[in-house]
Amino acid sequence: MMADTRAPAERPLSPHLQIYRPMLTMMMSIVHRITGFGLYFGTLILAWWLIAAASGPNAYAKFEWFAGSLIGRLILFGYTWALIHHMLGGIRHLIWDTGRGFGPSEREWLAAANLIGSIAITLVLWLVGLLAMGGPR
Amino acid sequence: MNAPKHMRTPLARVLGRGAAKSGTGHFWHQRLTAVANIPLTIAVVIILITLLGRNQAAAAQILGSPTVAIIMLLFIGSITAHMKIGMQVIIEDYVHDESAKLTLLMANTFFTVAVGLAAAFGILKLSFGV
């Protein structure tokens, strides 16, 4: 018979995330996208703050109440870390754009520096910030 | 007789814009705004720390001063442009339904322009004091 219907060929699918063992470089890539996503919406807080400052003492007091509350502080702490992490990750991408930093040890080192650097800088900024406000309240 | 080496027209090859019709413009603007964001973010973080714990009148005065206002405006312009480009890539990666994708791409532009304009308006109002 010439007119036999053939089953669709069993072609391999390209492997995706769940195939691979999690690696630091992979996790940093995912975190870079997640922090970018978070920062996108976090910009609403920046706009709120600036409009509050432009609107007057009452509007500014409302923002300060939010920023000083526990949930507000948690959000702003997370925002700070996301900002620094995304910035350091971006610098890593700019290094890669020059063709450097792709070696096995280099990329591991850069990924670790990205993570450790982001945590360290965030903690230093908050320490400086809390001291500027006259100590933890 | 030479067989054509390319399926693309000579014009398409000269323009070098590819399937997306925008060439490397997207990539380039991602990098351009990324580079601009680094010094601007550092400057804004310093401004923010100096403003901590100050009341509205003091914050308004500092934010409205020319140097600080110009830095803030550059920062807002650069980050919102970067936000639009970055979110566009996320939408294009994960949303495959054509109408949902177009709706979200539109919403992305609306959001980034609105947030950018709102933040810039706050700064301008403080600067011009009206």
d(CA A131, CA B100): 47
d(CA B18, CA A71): 47
Residue B5 has pLDDT above 80, yes or no: no
- List, in sequence order, the alpha helices (H) in B16-97: 25-51, 56-64, 66-94
Interhelix angle B25-51/A104-132, nearest 10 degrees: 30
Q: What was the pLDDT predicted at A52?
A: 97
Give the residue carrying structure tokens 């809390």.
A130
Look at residue B10 and tell me if it is in a domain: no
Could you give all domains of chain A from N- to C-terminal order, each with its CATH number? 23-132 (1.20.1300.10)
Look at residue B32 and tell me if it is in a domain: yes
User: What is the CATH number for B38?
Assistant: 1.20.1300
Look at residue B40 and tell me if it is in a domain: yes
B81–A contact, CB cutoff 8 A: no
Look at residue B79 and tell me if it is in a domain: yes
Whether residues B56 and A128 touch (CB distance < 8 A) is answered with no
Which carries the bigger pLDDT value, residue A46 or residue A135? A46
Read off the pLDDT of residues A7-36 as tens digits, 9 standing for 90 and up. 777 877 777 777 788 889 999 999 999 999
DSSP state, A17?
A: G
Closest partner CB to A90 (pick from B34, B45, B80): B34
B83–A contact, CB cutoff 8 A: yes
Look up the domain containing B116 and give its range.
24-128
Read off the pLDDT of residues A82-126 as tens digits, 9 standing for 90 and up. 999 999 999 999 999 999 999 999 999 999 999 999 999 999 999
Look at residue B13 and tell me if it is in a domain: no
Q: Which chain B residues touch A44 with a CB distance below 8 Å?
A: 115
Look at residue B71 and tell me if it is in a domain: yes
Look at residue B65 and tell me if it is in a domain: yes
Q: What was the pLDDT predicted at A9?
A: 77
Contacts of A47 (CB under 8 A, 6+ apart): B115, B118, B119, B122
Residue A1 has pLDDT above 60, yes or no: no
Look at residue B119 and tell me if it is in a domain: yes
Q: What was the pLDDT predicted at A4?
A: 61
Domain count of the fold of chain B:
1
The C-alpha torsion from B94 through B99 and B103 to B109, rounded to 10°, is: 70
Read off the pLDDT of residues B20-49 as tens digits, 9 standing for 90 and up. 667 788 899 999 999 999 999 999 999 999
Give 3-state DSSP helix, strand, coil % of chain A, rounded to 5.
Answer: 75, 0, 25
How does residue A71 score in pLDDT terms, banded at 50, 70 and 90? very high
Residue A136 has pLDDT above 60, yes or no: no
Closest partner CB to A94 (pick from B35, B48, B60): B35
Residue A21 backbone class (left: φ over 0; alpha: ψ -120 to 50; beta: rest): beta
Q: How many CB pairs under 8 A join A and B?
A: 81
Q: Chain A neighbours among B 10-49 (CB < 8 Å)?
A: 31, 34-35, 37-38, 41, 45, 48-49
Record the tokens describing residue B84, joined without a space.
């639009």
Read off the pLDDT of residues B43-99 as tens digits, 9 standing for 90 and up. 999 999 999 989 999 999 999 999 999 999 999 999 999 999 999 999 999 999 999
Give the residue carrying structure tokens 């009341």.
B55
